[in-house]
Amino acid sequence: MTATTSTPETSNTFTSTVGGYTVRGRAHSLSAWFVLSLRLMMGYAFAYSGFTKIVAAEPFAAGGYLANVAATNGNPLADLFAWMGSTPWFVEFANVAVPWGELFIGLGLLVGAFTRLAAFFGAPVMLLFYFGNWDVAHGVINGDFAYMLVFLAVAAFGAGRILGLDAYIEQYEVDGRPLVEKYPALEYILG
């Protein structure tokens, strides 16, 4: 094992300005390993969850959850969940989108391919689970909310570039130029 060495002050630094407020930070060189761990943890959790729903003896059915869960727990989005659960086309969509979406999000994270795209879909899924599993007995922050933030962190830190395929996909040459240089919009789904 090699020791972690310090690097010049400009490396591992990040700055962001939103709404006139600027924040700055400096990440430790071991941060890459933690970001990788978060990506792999969420990848495994989602791939496993989706896979078990797909191969289950009984087909996955979202209707009962959507129609009943929000009405029993004081959920501020109870009417939305009731609509989703009582709308046949939406229930059929959810019956396919949830298991296959979880599987593909998980696989994307596990191999580090299209990581930001996977996180883009994973974060809203966790937000829906957050409201669906609404329980403020111990405060408004629960595991579903934390997982949503993990998805956002994985996307923000470009976790697919850390031992992932996104690092290679971005550098794939098209007409002698790296893919993301030729098509800059791809930075929003890769990384």
Each of the 191 residues of the chain gets a pLDDT tens digit; together they read 544 444 455 567 888 889 999 988 888 888 889 999 999 999 999 999 999 999 999 999 998 888 877 666 677 888 888 899 989 999 999 999 999 999 999 999 999 999 999 999 999 999 998 888 887 777 788 889 999 999 999 999 889 999 999 999 988 988 888 888 888 888 888 88
Question: CA-CA distance, 46 to 59, in Å (whole number)?
Answer: 18
Strands (E), the chain: 13-18, 21-26, 173-174, 177-178
Residue 63's contacts (CB-CB under 8 Å, 6 or more residues apart) are: 85, 91, 94, 95
| Distance of alpha carbon 14 from alpha carbon 16, whole angstroms | 7
State if pTM tops 0.95.
no
